[in-house]
Structure 1
Amino acid sequence: MKVLKFGGKSLANGEGIKSVVSILLNKIKSKEEIVVVVSARGTATDDLFELLERAKKGEDYQSAFETFKNNQLEPFSTVDFSQEFSFLEKIFEGVNLLGDYSPKIKDLVTAYGELLAGKTVTALLKENGVNAQYTDSRELFKTDNVYGEATLLEEITEENTKKYFKNIDLTTTVPVVTGFVGASLEGETTSIGNNGSNYSASLIAGYLNAEELENYTIVSGIYTANPLLVSNAQKINHLSFNEANELANLGDNVLDAKAIIPLVKKNISLRILNTFEPESPGTLINAEASSKNGIKAISVQENMALVSLEGRGLLGKVGIDARLFAALQKENVSVGIISQGSSERGISFVVNGKDAHKAKDALGNEFNLDFLSNDINRISITRGVAVVSILGNSLSSFNTSYTALVNNNIKPLLINNTVTGNNVCLVIDNKELRKAVNVMHGEIFGIAKKINVAVFGVGLVGGTLIKQILESKENILKRKGIDLNVFAVANSKKVYFNADGIQATWKQDLKETGIPYKGIDAIVKYAKDHHLGNLIAVDNSASAGMTENYIPLIESGFNLVSSNKIGNTKSLDFYHELRLALAQNRKQYLYETNVGAGLPLIDTIKLMHASGENITRIKGVFSGTLSYLFNNFSAKNVKFSEVLNEAAEQGFTEPDPREDLNGNDVGRKLLILARELDLQNEFSDVEIHNLIPEHLRDGDTASFLSKLEELDPIYQEIKDKQEPNHVLRYIGDLHGDLASDKGILEVKLVSVPRDSALGQVKGADSIFEIYTESYGDQPVVIQGAGAGANVTARGVFGDIMRLTELEL
């Protein structure tokens, strides 16, 4: 024989109640002997309480009561609830007249959620030809008369239950028992507390020596975390009673510690099943040990409050704890985790949110004289907190999870180890709960680490980057366990969001469903509202304005990747302020593409400089665009304007080629390298040879493009004046005393031997020569593709992947 218990959400109107009936009919068809225990359907208990409150406050409760009645009749409109509805209506009228109600009335009214559910399920089974028998649990479960949280009179209840079921043939009859509800010896309706229906079902299973208790919920078992909080939580197939009890005591939302006790006594298995997926085996809980190392799971208790008692007189004073707990016990306030610190001279503890003021008042009364003597300064309440418990994880092995929390700007209010030393409990702000649980779950269980990326600037480089990410996403997930999730894309006009990740249709989605882009606040808010962790902001724009957002993004929990050079070439004050913000917020800023596109230049220089290598000079062809321009101009008998047009047609130049020809881009790159060597140069220190004649520097792009031929005689003359076997190269050169505060930064057009390292550069390649004391006259040479959207995007992608391997 089995006991089947169905929760309120399982019994809700629609698919829920239909699934329940289907499960029961299949059990009966299979000739299984069953006893059914039901909770109130849907939100019936809360609805009844709300009706009481409306009546008490003199508000319109009649229309809400009509809605309640219609909801109860929806699955089977012919069931006769006239007596129940009439009784409830009289109660509400009385409460409305008196303007108040007692705990006894509350128990009586809220019990009708289960009573109506029992009648509904019984009627539906009878409609399908089943001999169902409605069983009012008030006839079985006897309690004291402490309304709201009655204590069961177990001997009488067991005797009543055994006697009742002795007269029922379970081969032909299906009893449908109301959970949660009991009665005092005087016959007054009582309730047996939160999760009372689970407790009722466990007691019946124990009294009847059932083979198994099947508890039907809306999840397919017990998970490593609440699936509503963590989408990739894993189902736990088996738990021992001890493990289940520990989970229940630490706040698991499916298990109830009190309901496990009767099953342990009789060694009756408990199986947690999903009403909507009845074919799933769920989670089996029995006496068998499941793991030598203990389980690993995360449980959550929400809507808690942190109460703190503070005062300098507490230091070394004997008996404070005893007085505190005695005061709380008098008010029936249950205490969760406790933290005591001599340095703060205080005690903090966690209570249910609804008990917070009761706890504060109790302590205020108990320590009244201590306030007068200034031994205690303050009793405070921090509301809106949650307790997160990590089972099977000690403080010594919790370091990676804690680091991940801090790096995601989540700071626990309190951390504590349990008595066994195998569990860690944290108090977290409710607003950070979902993100915190997801971050820790990923660290503890080694499940795919989700990296949430916002891309600013979706032009050629940005669009190519997104294409590369989407194409590589599955492979990266499989190989590295990294889930790259681009949740936002923004251009200067619109931003498009998708918390689950943008798709290949993102361009159309941005155009059609994107919202006006008014700054980063919307992106920050979206990430916060959707509890997104491991955040990276990618700047593929060329906007000075975008760099103003770097520090606010860092302070909002974002790491940075940028191909935008402006952030690193603004004033030294901004440069240092940005680095300070990164350090204070434990964030990373990667920008390898700022100088060498996809070449590993900045990393190489950083490593050499950090290792104490004295770099004496850096020079080279910094611009892929200008490399292409002068390589071709030097090698071919062509006009300068022809090569420039060719470069523009192939996408090597900016829409206005003057942005390349003015040398500022190379100047910025050179300045970035100088600052990597801790030089204090400003952009104004860079001596730049502007390749545009002064009379062509102003005016619009079209006007300039129409006058390109005016450049031909200028550069032909320069070309003709070279020494034999020399070629033109536009280079950046950082030299001087690089151990001092400032270096010499020059950007210039030079003529070099054709067979030199600079002279042998081909196509749009860049080349960098790094001279050091150790290498002497033989520089370290880094050469390769220095331009193109694919190369730059791949470099940005590389920075993103490097960030994923760091402790975000």
Structure 2
Amino acid sequence: MSNLINQVENLVVAKFGGTSVADFEAMSRCADIVLANPNTRVVVVSASSGVTNLLVELTQANVNDERRLALLKDIAKVQYAIADSLDRPQEVTAQIDQVLSQMAVLSESLLLNRSKAIMDELLSTGEQCSSILFSAVIAQKDQPSQAFDVRQVLRTDSHFGKAEPQIEQIATLAKAKLLPLLSDNIIVTQGFIGADEQGKTTTLGRGGSDYSAALLAEALNAHAVEIWTDVAGIYTTDPRLAPNARPIAEISFNEAAEMATFGAKVLHPATILPAVRQRIQVFVGSSKAPEQGGTWIRHQIEDAPVYRAVALRRDQTLLNLHSLQMLHAQGFLAETFATLARHKISVDLITTSEVNVSLTLDKTGSDSSGQGLLSESLLQELSQHCRVRVEDKLALVAIIGNQIASTAGICSRVFQVLEPHNVRMICQGASPHNLCVLVSESEAADVVNALHQNLFE
């Protein structure tokens, strides 16, 4: 028991994304990363690269039977290619057969019943296959390993498609069902999925595997979470937009949360929340080149510069509300936000004047267009007490750093860069860690590159 307690004190939860488990060679590299650290006892995996996209297409209403069978064949090809590379493929293939059979049944069920619960069940099968295969790859390297169904511990509500984790229940179940297994095995489990009180499969939303890893780390009081992806850490901005972007060795929780929220693709925005609650340090590195190091996200850091990074989030919607009722009146904002809440719309940024309110809405990860996000019923409800105007094809550029709101000269330096561009909104002051501007989607890349040159180069 003392050995188990010691392991828990230093426990590392490692998460590998889709490209990291794309094929047998990739899984083998990741298994070596796991085995290099004896404290890594829990591994969370995504579906193999491309599989989730195929599964998402399977859930679409316009998929005919011929296309459905072709998609199932493509998914099976990815999984069997990995299984065939193992020393004892028959044992693993039998397990994969079972999941793929379930996948076929669920996809056929969707032709008659387009239930979100069935969709979540179908989408979960990619991670189920990955966990079986990755566990077998580790076992092939002479390390005891066990594939574990995360739905036994990751309890959520029944909001299929974007379920909310039940934190206290997850902690209780993880300590009862998962913790006792760690002394004898490396546990390989699924990201992105959970189960509600009735045992029905739920999903946490696209990109939720990072969140799953952090939730399990929180529940098990882990020492660290490692997010292994295809880039060597977090950069000052997207290197595709600014060629001189450079990796960041260490950032704070607050900075990382801002970067994730405002578009940094390395982390899922919710990932940082469980880590913040328990002050669990997070590492982000490349599974293709672990020797290059990566970025550590910690509660306390040695260096906290004014400018840390520039983040970009595309596909934004601006909602403009105009009403003379706002003039020296009370309750307009309360009524507006209550309406948005009823329609489950989350507001990011807000600016106000005497008779106008402008709100940004994030569409990232949504299948909806801007008008789909803002349903006709919502627009009609808002129109009852104000004039509504919707703008899309916008992008949010965020300057991330420290003490931005109380550092003189920042705005003048930023405005100098923005002079050639039309800025639709500016938000600064609510947080000491960001200054945000909303610009046209077509100008976003130029704005990011110019800001990075001015602030970092």
Q: What range describes the TM-score normalised by the shorter chain of this pair?
A: 0.7 to 0.9
2:77 maps to 70
Is it true that 1:205 corresponds to 2:217 in the alignment? yes
Candidates 91, 105, 116, aligned match of 1:90 = 105
Q: Report the Cα distance in structure 2 between the residues aligned to 1:239 and 1:175, rounded to whole angstroms.
A: 29
SS at match of 1:186: coil
1:49 maps to 56
SS at match of 2:396: strand
Candidates 359, 365, 386, aligned match of 1:349 = 359
Partner letter of residue 76 of structure 1?
A
2:253 maps to 241
Query: TM-score, normalising length from structure 1?
Result: 0.50
- 1:443–1:61 Cα change, 3 Å: same
1:272 maps to 284
- Contact kept? 1:239, 1:286, Cα under 8 Å: yes
| Displacement after TM superposition at 1:161 (Å) | 1.0
Q: Report the Cα distance in structure 2 between the residues aligned to 1:75 and 1:68, rounded to whole angstroms.
A: 12
- Contact kept? 2:34, 2:40, Cα under 8 Å: no
- Contact kept? 1:3, 1:37, Cα under 8 Å: yes
- Which whole-Å deviations, capped at 9, do the CAs of 1:261-286 have from their partners, x for residues lacking one? 33233332211111111012211112
1:707 maps to none
- Contact kept? 2:170, 2:219, Cα under 8 Å: no
The 5 Å alignment of 1:399-438 reads 399-407=412-420, 410-438=421-449
Candidates 319, 324, 327, aligned match of 1:307 = 319
Query: TM-score, normalising length from structure 2?
Result: 0.86
Q: Report the Cα distance in structure 1 between the residues aligned to 2:103 and 2:296, rounded to whole angstroms.
A: 40
- Contact kept? 1:54, 1:61, Cα under 8 Å: no
Q: Report the Cα distance in structure 1 between the residues aligned to 2:263 and 2:429, rounded to whole angstroms.
A: 14
Q: Report the Cα distance in structure 2 between the residues aligned to 1:310 and 1:346, rounded to whole angstroms.
A: 5
Is it true that 1:196 corresponds to 2:208 in the alignment? yes
Candidates 361, 380, 383, aligned match of 1:365 = 380
Q: Report the Cα distance in structure 2 between the residues aligned to 1:415 and 1:139, rounded to whole angstroms.
A: 45
Q: Report the Cα distance in structure 2 between the residues aligned to 1:72 and 1:190, rounded to whole angstroms.
A: 22
- Contact kept? 1:328, 1:363, Cα under 8 Å: yes
The 5 Å alignment of 1:196-345 reads 196-311=208-323, 314-342=326-354, 345=355
- Which whole-Å deviations, capped at 9, do the CAs of 1:395-437 have from their partners, x for residues lacking one? 9413233323333xx3222212140355211112222222211
SS at match of 1:336: strand
The 5 Å alignment of 1:486-635 reads none
Is it true that 1:143 corresponds to 2:156 in the alignment? yes
SS at match of 1:305: strand
SS at match of 1:350: strand
| Displacement after TM superposition at 1:202 (Å) | 1.5
Q: Which has the higher contact order (CA 8 A, sep 6+)?
A: 2
Q: Report the Cα distance in structure 2 between the residues aligned to 1:191 and 1:437, rounded to whole angstroms.
A: 33
Q: Report the Cα distance in structure 1 between the residues aligned to 2:340 and 2:42, rounded to whole angstroms.
A: 40
- 1:247–1:89 Cα change, 3 Å: same
- Greater gyration radius: 1
2:194 maps to 182
| Displacement after TM superposition at 1:313 (Å) | 5.7
1:384 maps to 393
Structure 1 unmatched ranges of 5 or more: 371-375, 448-808
Partner letter of residue 303 of structure 2?
S
Q: Report the Cα distance in structure 1 between the residues aligned to 2:450 and 2:33, rounded to whole angstroms.
A: 37
- Which whole-Å deviations, capped at 9, do the CAs of 1:543-601 have from their partners, x for residues lacking one? xxxxxxxxxxxxxxxxxxxxxxxxxxxxxxxxxxxxxxxxxxxxxxxxxxxxxxxxxxx
Structure 2 unmatched ranges of 5 or more: 1-10
Q: Report the Cα distance in structure 2 between the residues aligned to 1:413 and 1:209, rounded to whole angstroms.
A: 44
Q: Report the Cα distance in structure 2 between the residues aligned to 1:247 and 1:52, rounded to whole angstroms.
A: 31
SS at match of 1:332: coil
| Displacement after TM superposition at 1:180 (Å) | 1.5
- 1:225–1:58 Cα change, 3 Å: same
Is it true that 1:440 corresponds to 2:451 in the alignment? yes
SS at match of 1:86: helix
- 1:173–1:349 Cα change, 3 Å: same
Greater Cα offset, 4-13 or 313-322: 313-322
- Contact kept? 1:307, 1:360, Cα under 8 Å: no
| Displacement after TM superposition at 1:293 (Å) | 4.5
1:39 maps to 46
2:411 maps to 398
Candidates 7, 11, 22, aligned match of 2:21 = 11
Q: Report the Cα distance in structure 2 between the residues aligned to 1:418 and 1:123, rounded to whole angstroms.
A: 51
- 1:58–1:381 Cα change, 3 Å: farther
SS at match of 1:67: helix
| Displacement after TM superposition at 1:14 (Å) | 6.9
Identity %: 28
1:453 maps to none
- 1:156–1:341 Cα change, 3 Å: closer
- Root-mean-square deviation (CA, aligned residues, Å) is 2.5
- 1:363–1:396 Cα change, 3 Å: farther
Q: Report the Cα distance in structure 2 between the residues aligned to 1:237 and 1:164, rounded to whole angstroms.
A: 36
SS at match of 2:270: helix
Q: Report the Cα distance in structure 1 between the residues aligned to 2:107 and 2:337, rounded to whole angstroms.
A: 39
- Which whole-Å deviations, capped at 9, do the CAs of 1:303-353 have from their partners, x for residues lacking one? 2211222355654454222221111000110011112234xx432211123
| Displacement after TM superposition at 1:83 (Å) | 1.2
- 1:74–1:399 Cα change, 3 Å: farther
- Contact kept? 1:150, 1:192, Cα under 8 Å: yes
- 1:203–1:94 Cα change, 3 Å: closer
2:7 maps to none
What is the aligned length?
430
- Contact kept? 2:343, 2:378, Cα under 8 Å: no
